[in-house]
Amino acid sequence: MEHYYTNNPTTKSCEQIISSKIFGENFKFYTDNGVFSKDGVDFGTKVLLENFSSQKEVANVADIGCGYGVISIVLAKQNPGYSFTMVDVNNRSLVLTKKNIELNRIENKVEIIESSSFDNVKGDFDIVLTNPPIRAGKKIVHQIMIDSFNHLSESGELWVVIQKKQGMASCKKLLEETFSSVEVITKNKGYYILKASKQLTTCYNYDKMINCK
């Protein structure tokens, strides 16, 4: 069975346009077979967007597992001082992302990268946001958390949406072992929004699972 985290989906393409009202504004998105939540913006993404808040007016943002681009596109409309690096392993999703940036007339600086986690991503970020690919497995999800730490600036912050029944507890534990502080921003119908703040120069080696300075 083919999943949304497949690099090059072979499922027959059947593009459609969906609509979603977020922050009182109507957004339209191209979606397709073989991508995550093709029939509508998923509830977890909406909860993350509705609860995201940062003091940073200018920021370099990474959207890991961007799908067809909802999180970055909505936040770009709200934050003209943000630049976005939109990352996904699914090339069909990235094609849709490019089309959705044009469809929603996004003027922010945007870079689109095909990558599993941060494998093909360079540089540091002020903010990382992720609705991680739970079905890809715990190892991948946890790698995104660790990679996020290592790609955040010293005062950077990671925002995660994750369901309680799909590994929230182990994810939160890993974040608490890695970041300076971890907050539960909200919980809604089993979805948790976690904010992890990086205030130290500690790095984290995922393969050896050890902290290093």
- pLDDT tens digits for range 53-84: 999 999 999 999 999 999 999 999 999 999 99
pLDDT exceeds cutoff 80 at 212: no
Burial bucket for residue 62 (CB in 10 Å: 0-12, 13-18, 19+): buried
Give me the pLDDT at residue 213, please. 36
Q: What is the pTM of this model?
A: 0.90
Can you say whether the dihedral through the CA atoms of 86, 89, 93, 98 is positive or negative?
positive
Backbone phi and psi for residue 41, each to the nearest 5 degrees, phi listed first: -60, 125
- What does the pLDDT look like over 102-149, one tens digit per residue? 999 999 999 999 999 999 999 999 999 999 999 888 999 999 999 999
Q: What is the mean pLDDT of residues 28-55?
A: 96
Nearest Cα neighbor of 36 from 5, 1, 15, 79 is: 5
Give me the pLDDT at residue 81, please. 98
Regarding beta strands 191-197 and 210-212, do their DSSP bridges make them parallel or antiparallel, or are they unpaired? Answer: unpaired
Q: Are 69 and 131 in contact (CB under 8 A)?
A: no
pLDDT exceeds cutoff 70 at 154: yes
- What does the pLDDT look like over 165-200, one tens digit per residue? 999 999 999 999 999 999 999 999 999 999 999 975
CA atoms within 13 A on the CB side of 119: 9
